[in-house]
A and B are shown apart, each in its own frame.
Chain A
Amino acid sequence: MSHHIVEFKNVSFLYPDGTEALRDISFRITHGESVGIIGANGAGKSTLLLHINGYLMPTSGTVNIGDLYLTRQTRQEIRRKVGVVFQNPDDQLFMPTVYEDVAFGPLNLGMDETAVRERVEYALNLVSGLELQNKPPHHLSCGQKSAVAIASVIAVEPDILAMDEPAANLDPRSRRLLINLLKTFEHSKIIASHDLDLIMDVCHRCIVIKEGTVVADGPVMEILTNKKLLEENHLELPLSLQRR
């Protein structure tokens, strides 16, 4: 079994317009860990996620995913290992029907049709969206869209799951279902979110990012109870810890 690690070593990234989005960032996430990435708006969370499967290449430093160093040659291999779920499901669901969308990844892996069907049904079943399979994405509600977006990533059976604001736009019940679902996954998980309660429920570890650098990295309960640290980063205590 390969080790599903994610390791950033002194990674910096400059956008073409000169904005420095990541500055000398280093961390290591080991197999099966679930990690929350939090920080103010514009702190670099999304840029960081874009590095995890090689959409952006670091300006300096190295990214190591499951014992593969990220280069232009290993990108395709890395994309099989890392599934990314985007904030806006409309960006993720680009095929005309739900079934075809979930089948997109497996088909690209060159699987045959019966195997693809099994994968799609398994993945849709997991997010309880099997009855949506013949619908076009624009007839789905927001919660259904996010569920399908997650299924479309799970269908590729990635080792590592990266998510950007998975619960944005979800109603409380859909959000709760999503949290329960995420808890059942044994993948390594990396979740960037402002929903600190979700992070607290799903993750064991938390990394705080500020202006492109890691300012804190530790067990989730330790970080999410540190009021001073959170407030310095435009955050506040998780709602469930605010009750007095």
Chain B
Amino acid sequence: MTFDEKYYNIGFLDQLAYKNTFVHRLDPRAKLIVTLLFLFTVVSFSKYEIAALLPFFLYPMLLMTIGEIPFMFIFKKVVFVSPFAVFIGIFNPLLDSGQVFIFSGLTISAGWLSFFSILIKFTLTVSTALLLVATTSFPGVCHALRQLGVPSLFVSQLLFLYRYIFVLMEETMCIVRARNMRSYGERGKDIRIFVRIVGILFIRTVERAERIYYAMLSRGFQGDMPSLKRFHIKTGDIVFALSVAVFLYFFRFYPATQILGRFVQGVFS
């Protein structure tokens, strides 16, 4: 993938947040808290757990369907960062060689179990976090953080990061294009040129920061970012948060898959 394509791809994530579905209309604070709760619940399972994790896919799937977020988009993003999770777990099958009995006649090493468990937890957590941003927008998440008591300084750093990552990328894109157009082959792609480009970007960033600070000062900035109170908790938000909490509690503390399995067995015998 070229730099240009990547750039437009990032912009797509917050275009998804313009939609107006039930999930998008929920209070960002409710979504943030529910997402955190979800992450902690998923991570709290033991390292050999697989079956009990599967029902948790219901939550991201529901969000995706109701929020009209394209499945392939989220899927590609998850695959893109998956090497991290794979490298964390790849040696488990070798290191953890205890045998585990699954079906009659089929045994595998405990390492494979923990490896798959890591992959499942990774997929669940990353896709839910992406869905939070895709349905709330990054600034929405930041405002929710601010209202939940995260210090203003920290939140404004995040907001600036979000605002200027696009500007910085655009600047990089222009420099990279200019270099490619005049390098006629490979010579200009030398590492030394790359180092210079990074240096130039750094200097430009410092200068830009100064101009931005000036712009802030001329509009009355005195050290504190003002924030607008725009969200109001509605009944819908409470119902949403409570029902997800109940869902999480149920699947965390009751072996739901086993109960379902026994029930199905009972029906057929």
Contacts and interface: CB of A to CB of B under 8 A. Distances in A.
Interface stretch (B61-69, B125-133, B156-164): B156-164
Interface size on A, as a range, is 35 or more
A15 interface: no
Contacts of A80: 220
A161 B159 CA distance: 28
Interface string A83-94: 110101011111
Nearest to B170: A138
A237 interface: no
Contacts of A138: 11, 163, 166-167, 170
Interface string B203-229: 000001001101111111110001111
A100 B228 contact: yes
Chief secondary structure at chain A's binding surface: helix
A139 B211 contact: no
A206 to B, nearest CB: 24
Given A82-B218, A107-B226, A152-B219, A96 B211 contact: no
Contacts of A55: 214, 217-218
B215 A96 contact: no
A94 B217 contact: no
A83 B11 CA distance: 31
B220 A94 contact: no
Given A55-B218, A86-B215, A139 B228 contact: no
> Which among B163, B215, B219 has the greatest number of chain A C-beta atoms within 10 A?
B219
B159 A96 contact: yes
Interface in B221-243: 221-222, 226-229
Contacts of B163: 93-96, 136-138
B228 A116 contact: yes
A207 to B, nearest CB: 21
A148 interface: no
A13 interface: no
Contacts of B222: 76, 108
A67 interface: no
A199 interface: no
Contacts of A137: 163
B93 interface: no
A104 B170 CA distance: 25
A239 interface: no
| A-B pairs, 3 with minimum CB distance | A107-B226, A108-B220, A96-B139
Interface of A: 50, 53, 55, 76, 79-80, 82-84, 86, 88, 90-97, 100, 103-105, 107-109, 113, 116, 134, 136-139, 152-153, 156
Given A96-B162, A113-B228, 10 more contacts: A79-B218, A79-B219, A79-B220, A83-B219, A84-B215, A88-B211, A113-B229, A136-B139, A139-B11, A139-B15
